[in-house]
Structure 1
Amino acid sequence: MASPWPADVDAFGELAHALLDVTPTGLLLLRPVYDAAGEAIVDVAYEYLNEKAQLLLRLPAQPTESFLTIYPAETDLFAFFRTAFLAVEARSLYSGTYQRAGTAFHFHLVARRQAGRLVVSMTGAADQPHAAIKAALRASQARERAAWQLAERQQQDINRFFEQAPVAISLLRGPRHVVELINEASAALLGSTREKLLGQPMMEALPALQRQGFDRVLERVLQGETIVLDETPVVLDRAHLGQANHGYYYVRYQPWRAEGEEIIGAMIVAIEVTDQVLAHRQLEQLNQELEARVQERTRQALAAQAEAEHQRTRLAQLIAEAPAAICVLSGPDFVYELVNPRYQALFAGRIKVGQPILTAVPEFAGQPVWYGLKGVYETGRTHTAESKPVPVARPDGVVEERYFNYIEQARRNEHGEIDGVFVFGYEVTDQVRARQQVQRLNQELTTANQDLGAANQQLTRTNVDLDNFIYTASHDLKAPITNIEGLLYLLKKALPAATRADELVANVLARMHSSVERFTRTIGHLTDVTKLQTEFAQPPATLLLAAVVEDVRQDLLPRFTEAGAHLEVAVDECQPRVFSEKNLHSVVYNLLSNALKYRHPDRPPRIRVACATEGNSLVLTVQDNGLGVSEWQQARLFQLFQRLHTHVEGSGLGLYMVKKIVENAGGTINVESQVNVGSTFTIRFPA
């Protein structure tokens, strides 16, 4: 027969159901019915009547009709129900006379709201012989003893479950965070014992937690905030336990509330070396007030059972809201006894309580997860697996391999015998596949680095060959051009004076001499290019930029005087730099000589050399008021043998060499210029 108990009550609620059905007090579970706007209570619906209430009211366990449909004239009683529901936590009392189908008796009601329902206790005065009353009392006492025994066994189950749980659980009370409840797993995680921690302020017993800011976390929790720390690093003194002091934890802090929603402390659930956390929330305690001597004894039994139910409900809530997949398997066939939503979600909701595991998940047959369960059940030794493949069938029936971290731990009864297995697990498929992808990418990167190394070796050989070619070409061409220059000199000397004076002959000889000179300079430039790489390797020294600028100014002093140039130097604040003296001298020399060479004909040159420190970098600027260059010319300015002004002598090699020196030192150079206004060269040297 289907249970009349409401469908949203879990398996633990069935114990309360059995106890309420044997009590001689009528108990009703009512639910308010609202108007269409969902604001005003217009009626009351029956959800459950225990056996005593059914006898008193002559109604079934779950009447389909509402209260005002059955009793349209009982407006005062309906008003009592509505007031009691709106009173939330206060008890409400009512007395009256019940009349129906020729039956009349006086009754007394006690009502109290529990979540979204109204719990009503009903007692009636009936004419019974004294002997019948005594018999009823004896029966009630027998039921009371059975209820106490049941409540005691439930409390023992709760304590065993709490102690055997492989997750750390603790309760801290008040602003000093006094340890009121803590299991062995939590004490071991903190590097202490339950005896040392119980009754002690947590931050005083473990000052390392306060130094790491966990006292501030607890203060926020006492203000009503739920805090989840995912993979947070924590340092604890656990070396004496043979464990690492530094670890990572998934921790959830949640306010611990009394029945009136007042925050009285903090609940803490932690899992070490996991990405998961158990959430915990405390529910209101079921507490029924009953009347008279038999009713009072029954109330005490109910109170004891309610406390046990509260403890079990609290643990059940922790399990239900835990981010880990949790199930409890019973017996050697591993029948599902409890399954939380996370576990159910892994198997697309196909797990049914009461089914053996191989019936619900046939793909586990012959797999390590199955043999792990059998080993735990037979030996009692906890089985832990990390990143293990587990076959799981998708909703379309296709079995795919997924990866999990899981713990299988034996459950023991009150005699210490193994009667089931706890399973705590969480999926790490994404992490495992990401790790596998990283491994593949590392292999590809290794191959790419090997290819790059071979290419670099080839490029090095090519550069060496190129340097050798340039050196050989410049060396082999020097002798012929020198011979040509000597022959031109002899030819000019051998020609008669009249012939040398001829305009055509003189022009040809001059052009031949000019060509030989340009060719000689080109050979010299090629030699300079081959020397450029070795110049970069000059030994570094600690230099003051001001001293280098002054040295260059002295070298160029005749040209400064000839051009009437003004040089402004603002580099005294620059810190000494470690650099090649010859290379830094070459950079400054080329920039200052170019400023003089490409000056504007209509105004005397004004040149400013300045530097600034940005972080660890040195920024050097050389600004002039010369001819300037266009945007198109700026893009070609640092290329080899590029000459953008032909009215003065030049090789197009100076700025190319400056750029190479700066870049080989890890720096950068750029130019901002405007035609007929001037140019600014900016060089950044790294630390």
Structure 2
Amino acid sequence: MASFADFSSADSSAIPPAADSADAQHLLAQRQALYRFYDDTPAAVCVLRGPAHHYEYLNAAYQRLLPSRPLLGLPVAEALPELVATGILALLDGVYQTGTTYHGTEQSVPLAATADQPAEERFFTFTYQATREQGAVVGISTFATDVTEQVRARRQQEAQRRQLAELFEQAPVGIATFRGPRYVIEMANPAVCALWGRTPAQAVGMPLFELLPEAAGQGFEELLDGVLATGEPYVAHELPSFIDRDGHRDTVYWNFVYHPLRETDGRITGITVVATEVSESVQTRRQVEQLNHELEARVTERTRELGEQQTLLGEILGQTPAYIATLSGPELRFSFLNNNYQRLLGGQPALGRPLAEVQPDAVAQGFGEMLGRIGAGGPPVVSPTTPLWRTQSVGQQQLGYYDLTYAPLRDAQGEPRGVLAFGVEVTEQVLARQEREAQRQLLHTVFEQSPTALYVVRGANHVLEVVNPLMARILGHSAEELLGQPFMEAMPELEGQGIAELLDQVWHTGQPYYQQERPAHLTYHQPGQPGYYTFVHQPLLDEQGVVAAIACVAVDVTEQVSARQQVQALNEELTSTNQALLQTNQQLRRTNADLDTFVYTASHDLKSPITNLEGLLAVLRDTLPVEVQQQSLVAPLLDLLDGTVARFRLTIEQLTELIRLQQSPAGPAQQVPLGPLVAAVLADLATEVTAAQAQVEVAIADGLGLYFAPANLRSIVYNLVSNALKYRDPARPAQVTVRAERQPTAVVLTVQDNGLGMSASQQERLFQAFQRLHTHVEGTGVGLYMIKRLIENVGARIEVASQPGQGSTFTVTFPI
């Protein structure tokens, strides 16, 4: 360590010009006394001098940080060049230039113990404080504490906490924590939720016996209460209970530990449970114990007399559900066959007869040669799902399927002496598999003949896996040209039309995509004449919940769109040829009425086909076996068809509702007082106001009114106020303000709330038909569209100002 005295004798320039004066000597003495104080300070202290920050003093603690590096008399940038790129010099310059103290907390600083060693990242909490002489900044005092170990320890603790959290989630045993006397579930990992038959979303935050009501009364309450009261853990081994999972009640066995959770003051506030289900092992052990017991009884019985043992063995083999026979000698004569094998032969005598006489058809199929090789000591042969003709009665045979195993029989010296034939009939399984294949073919036929266009793409490259004929006709290619090809390679004409981006969006987000009347140019379309299609892209998830494929259900609506476009073109032509405003408005009303009638008729006429589709789907579900419906490909497609038909029906119902609202008579216009009308609306919404705990303020001058159709004006106010209540922010009390004021040229009505608010993109779609920006609230999405039409039909206008999380203000301006 170098003291201040050492440095001052080596460099007298550090003493102010007035060093010969008594004041300078006094200042030097004070500084030396201060540095002696710093020598005993555990913090690392150094004093820098001048704008280049020359080391003037450093205490022992500071020197220990850099024991082999010369510092005194050198500027910081030269003494510690590794600090140049860190911003430390800029901090020192700032303190020197401004005189403002700088505090750094756990700041990363690269330091090398020696100049030829690489820098090591260290962490310091420090203070840079300007030192002044005669009011001017002449240097900087630094006070630093090395907190590297604390920072590294904290980071290690954080990593350990993350590892513990991952271990909690991935642990193969069930782990959960309960809090309070109601045992509210605070944490529950996936393994324990699987044991309970519930999801984590259902479990966390619920009292245990509300989540698992069937567990009440089985003694678990007393066990938990005991742990909570005594603080003594409870260990259970193979504790039986019953639990409701997957729609039925199971009897299960548990190994678990209840362990008390203590606060820092020793209070017990909860319980941790670590549990595994051992039902299978318990049942297996009991079965083994039962089998062992039976085996011991049989062994005891057999030891009494060898003859009885052989008889018992014969009875066991005779009654086993398998087909068992032994064949001996080069002629493969039957030396034993159980009852099932005897029935397989149709009851004909076989004992002592050669295989060629008893089963000549088996010899013809090559079994005689194979069994001869095995009987001579060859390796065993396993033949699964082997077709064999079995004799039902004299002259009658039936084809069956068997899993066959043939193994050599050896004597006590290990020499081959025959063949053991063991078979299990699998005819029912084979026939069931054939039936499933037939059902799959039936489902394929249903897809092929479906009145809806379907395709399925699989993988990130969207390889076409299923394309029914109607979809092939829409795409303009045969199914053979499409199947097995990536979608965009098979359909290059769709490049640049957004289809590839749409498929990627569904693949990456896992969210279905629905669009009505989307234009698309295919190879058979004339230039400038695209087709129009309404479709849904539905992601299909695998067992892990990951998107594995995408199913598309589409309807060609080109004719409907063309018809509507023709009507629109006719409207434009009529508008351009009619000069009189009154005649133009009348013509537009008639055209709109025709359009409403067309939409209403179309929606009404579509109900019957939709009903037929629902009936066909119901018949299909009744026809398909349950196991076929649950297959990984079939189940999602059936659900997709159900969802598509349901959405079509909902669209038709919304169209009908829109036409009904448009055709409802509003009545003649008259002077309507605004104050009483708003009061009546709030009275009708009293239940909603109370449920929302809303504070409603009305600021309308007495006598202020409008010349308007009363029913229409009430619909406008009702929609705006009810929306303010429905779309409130659950994080704060709802506040709704209704104001109206007369201006020189208009009456302005405003409805302001502090609800959820809307983004700019949401506001652009706000007044469109069937637009629902918040799906957690019921509705058809036509309310704001309808009141906008009511407002604009009389020359008024409606505007909205909104910010997400702050609320919305709707302003309606009625000209006067």
TM-score normalised by length of structure 1: 0.31
Larger radius of gyration: 1
Greater RCO, CA 8 A, separation 6+:
1
State TM-score, norm by structure 2. Answer: 0.26
